[in-house]
Amino acid sequence: MPSGETTTLGRARLGFADVAEIDEFVATLERYERGELTPDQWRAFRLVRGTYSQRQAEDAQMMRVKIPQGVLDGAQLEALADVADAYSRGFGHVTTRQNVQFHFLKLHDVEKVMHRLAEAGLTTREACGSAVRNVTACPDAGVAADEVFDVTPYAEALTRYFLRHPLAAALPRKFKIAFEGCPADHALTAINDLGWRASIDPAGRRGFRVTVGGGTSILPRSGELLYDFLPAGEILEVTEAVLQVFHDRGDFKHKQRNRLKFLMRDMGFAAWRAAFETARAALRARGGIALPFDPDRPPLEAAPGGRAPAPTTRSVAARASAARLSGPGLRPAVGPTLPVAGGSYERWLRTNVRAQKQAGFAIATATLPLGDVTGAQLRVLADLAQAYGDGLVRTTLEQDLALRWVRVADLPALHERLVAAGLGLPDARTLADVTSCPGAETCRIAVTQSRGLGRLLGEWLRERPDLVDVAAGLDVKISGCPNGCGQHHVAGLGFQGSVRRVGDSVLPQYFVMLGGGVGDAGARFARLAAKIPARRVPQAVERLLAFYAAERETGEPADAFFARVDLARVKPLLADLESLDAGQAVPEDFVDLGEQAAFQLTALEGECSA
């Protein structure tokens, strides 16, 4: 049980908050303002409490709320809505690690935000900084038709054990963990520091295939196999041993090369594993660490009981349209979803709905362009989850929100209300469901406005369902810098923000990356095909998809095609788009997407490794 939290929330789940640490935050801020702490000491403290300084010179903070396994109940959705409306811009942002972020908060509002979140059992603890970050899990866990078993209880047990653990925020750098129970790696375990894939041995015991040391950024690396099968009851012990070695032997001085993958590279896997086995043996000698339940008989997710009355479509539309957004940057649309090409109920049913393993029920996804969701929409979703689901929603790695336990007969009514709330777009988990990091809108180290490109591509692709349909299984992911928060390294079509000098000026461009993904063999990393000025990217995408349609083998999916195609055949397709000199450039080339002023390279010192 998390320290200080005894509140039982939706589906009988204990919260994760600890009110006492909010008082600690206030006291530490006061010490900093009195000059008793250095800026570096203050930064390290607030990052572990989920508060990150934005690129804006004025008082502008990003606050990240930890959403373990992406699970949110109605009270938590209401709390997030209150924070969005009272302290941010009227909307929040779902991240690729299933968290929720708010931007443009004031530092002295953080205490009030933390208290409102804590009322609903939510915490920002270890959401940023050199800490064990949010433990992610497949959003379909527990209901997926093809899963080996539900990984949620194991992921939650690990979350609770390491939240506020002495090692959790005493690491050289951030540490990421993911769980997957399906045959497909929806949770991208291969690019996590620790990846857990559900498995059952010949004796019928539950366990995991375990990989270690994965990551992207400046050294993309697929996790090394640590165990082909580890009994499920040993997950806490193994995790603590890995963390202990990282803490004891990791590089605390060189923040740009001190992730676990660098330690493993420098030591060599055999030497690293020997150190790990020594640490694990020491834990066993002290009695080991048991799960709080029988690992072969974990808590099961049962069908929900009674449901609340459904709100009328008219009331949903009125509430969603009443959202008041403010502040700088791109904003989500307010009001009913506008019709898009191929955007009928039938298309939504095909792209946004998946059958559960429980007969008669389905998972329905509310697509969030750029991961943005307004406070009003969060409140509507809380009501819709009570009326049509089990009262919970799950955030996804594609930056969407999933409602589960929806009766198949209720899908038309749910879709009607999602449309009324501006949440009824189709094409979830397709090419049009573009993933993007926050980019230069708020991030200190970003080079380009990745959200601007994300909006442009998403809207353009929704108007071209022919392109989306021809490339089933392909995804688009965008990052505003090499760090890869948008996960472009493992995208079928990835775009990495960069800068180009043309004459005496600079303009935004993107590295076009092809063929990334995560599969049974681990992660494969996208290859650089071209460097394209930002406004030409849609033309590049159209040409690449036409090339696939013309050159694919019979039945070959788009992601497999781009993973194998010879780049020497791709580069000529994009050469004229890549070429740009002062004589060819037009004024629009020097304005980043989503911006009005001329592009400037203003990347600052980041806090990712502080």
Instruction: Determine the pLDDT at residue 604.
Output: 67
Instruction: Determine the pLDDT at residue 434.
Output: 98
pLDDT band at 2 (very low <50, low <70, confident <90, very high): very low
3-state helix, strand, coil in the chain (%, to 5): 40, 20, 40
What single-letter amino acid sits at 309?
P
Instruction: Determine the pLDDT at residue 247.
Output: 98
Angle between helical axes of 110-119 and 74-87 (0-180°, round to 10): 160
Instruction: Determine the pLDDT at residue 491.
Output: 97
Strands 177-180 and 136-137: parallel
Average pLDDT over residues 37-58: 94
Tens-digit pLDDT profile for residues 359-380: 999 999 999 999 999 999 999 9
Task: Name the fold adopted by 8-119.
Answer: Sulfite Reductase Hemoprotein; domain 2 (3.90.480)
Average pLDDT over residues 296-311: 92
Return the bridge partners of 9, or none: 13
Q: Would you state the CATH architecture of domain 136-285?
A: 2-Layer Sandwich (3.30)
What single-letter amino acid sits at 462?
R
Helix (H) or strand (E) holding 466: helix 465-470
Helix (H) or strand (E) holding 194: strand 194-200
Average pLDDT over residues 74-102: 98
**What backbone torsions phi and psi does residue 492 show, to the nearest 5 degrees?**
-60, -45
DSSP 47-76: HHTTEEE-SSSSS-EEEEEB-GGGEEEHHH
pLDDT band at 123 (very low <50, low <70, confident <90, very high): very high
Q: Which two tokens stand for residue 447?
A: 């080079």
Average pLDDT over residues 77-88: 98
Three-state DSSP class for 262? Answer: helix
pLDDT band at 504 (very low <50, low <70, confident <90, very high): confident
The number of beta carbons lying within 10 Å of the beta carbon of residue 519 is 14
Instruction: Determine the pLDDT at residue 256.
Output: 77
**What backbone torsions phi and psi does residue 329 show, to the nearest 5 degrees?**
90, 175
Q: Are 57 and 606 in contact (CB under 8 A)?
A: no
Tens-digit pLDDT profile for residues 135-159: 999 999 999 999 999 999 999 999 9
Instruction: Determine the pLDDT at residue 579.
Output: 92
Q: Would you state the CATH architecture of domain 435-590?
A: 2-Layer Sandwich (3.30)
Q: Are 180 and 187 in contact (CB under 8 A)?
A: yes
**Whole-number Å distance between alpha carbons of 100 and 261:** 26
Average pLDDT over residues 512-540: 96
Instruction: Determine the pLDDT at residue 9.
Output: 64
Instruction: Determine the pLDDT at residue 610.
Output: 46
- Residue 11 reports pLDDT greater than 80: no
Helix (H) or strand (E) holding 354: strand 353-355
Output the CA angle 56-114-335, nearest 5 degrees. 70
Strand segments (E) across 414-521: 435-436, 476-479, 493-502, 505-514, 517-519
- Residue 1 reports pLDDT greater than 60: no
CATH 3.30.413.10 placement within the chain: 136-285, 435-590
Residue with tokens 């012990």: 237
Say what percent of the chain tops pLDDT 90: 87
Output the CA angle 409-414-415, nearest 5 degrees. 105
Nearest-CA neighbor of 475 among 490, 462, 485? 490
Nearest-CA neighbor of 380 among 49, 51, 77? 77
Is pLDDT larger for residue 214 or for residue 340? 214
Return the bridge partners of 597, or none: none
Instruction: Determine the pLDDT at residue 337.
Output: 84
**78-87, 326-335, 401-410, 591-600: which range is least confident on average?**
591-600
pLDDT band at 218 (very low <50, low <70, confident <90, very high): confident
Instruction: Determine the pLDDT at residue 46.
Output: 97
Helix (H) or strand (E) holding 346: helix 345-352
- Residue 78 reports pLDDT greater than 50: yes
Average pLDDT over residues 114-119: 98
Instruction: Determine the pLDDT at residue 8.
Output: 63
- Residue 4 reports pLDDT greater than 60: no
The number of beta carbons lying within 10 Å of the beta carbon of residue 581 is 8
pLDDT band at 13 (very low <50, low <70, confident <90, very high): confident
pLDDT band at 298 (very low <50, low <70, confident <90, very high): very high
Instruction: Determine the pLDDT at residue 607.
Output: 66
Is pLDDT larger for residue 73 or for residue 4? 73
Nearest-CA neighbor of 69 among 129, 154, 145? 154
**What backbone torsions phi and psi does residue 472 show, to the nearest 5 degrees?**
-55, 135
Nearest-CA neighbor of 441 among 451, 432, 431, 433? 451
- Residue 400 reports pLDDT greater than 70: yes
As a whole number, the mean pLDDT across the chain is 94
Angle between helical axes of 375-388 and 74-87 (0-180°, round to 10): 170
* Cα–Cα distance list, 380 to 377, 387, 389, 419, 482 (Å): 5, 11, 13, 12, 36
- Residue 129 reports pLDDT greater than 90: yes
Q: What is the CATH number of domain 313-322+337-420?
A: 3.90.480.20
What single-letter amino acid sits at 326?
S
Residue with tokens 């690396």: 221
DSSP 430: S
Average pLDDT over residues 249-277: 94
Q: Are 513 and 495 in contact (CB under 8 A)?
A: yes
What single-letter amino acid sits at 76?
Q
- Residue 603 reports pLDDT greater than 80: no
pLDDT band at 602 (very low <50, low <70, confident <90, very high): confident
pTM of the model: 0.96
**325-339, 403-417, 475-489: which range is least confident on average?**
325-339
- Residue 105 reports pLDDT greater than 50: yes
* Cα–Cα distance list, 118 to 87, 115, 193, 377 (Å): 15, 5, 28, 21
DSSP 132: B
pLDDT band at 344 (very low <50, low <70, confident <90, very high): confident
Tens-digit pLDDT profile for residues 438-477: 999 999 999 999 999 999 999 999 999 999 999 989 999 9
**11-15, 388-392, 595-599: which range is least confident on average?**
11-15
* Cα–Cα distance list, 389 to 270, 408, 488, 503 (Å): 48, 11, 32, 57
- Residue 90 reports pLDDT greater than 80: yes
Average pLDDT over residues 8-16: 77
Say what percent of the chain tops pLDDT 70: 96
The number of beta carbons lying within 10 Å of the beta carbon of residue 410 is 17
The number of beta carbons lying within 10 Å of the beta carbon of residue 515 is 23
Sheet order of strands, 493-502 included: 435-436, 476-479, 493-502, 505-514, 527-533
CATH 3.90.480.20 placement within the chain: 8-119, 313-322+337-420
DSSP 5: -
DSSP 546-575: HHHHHHPPTT--HHHHHHHS-HHHHHHHHH
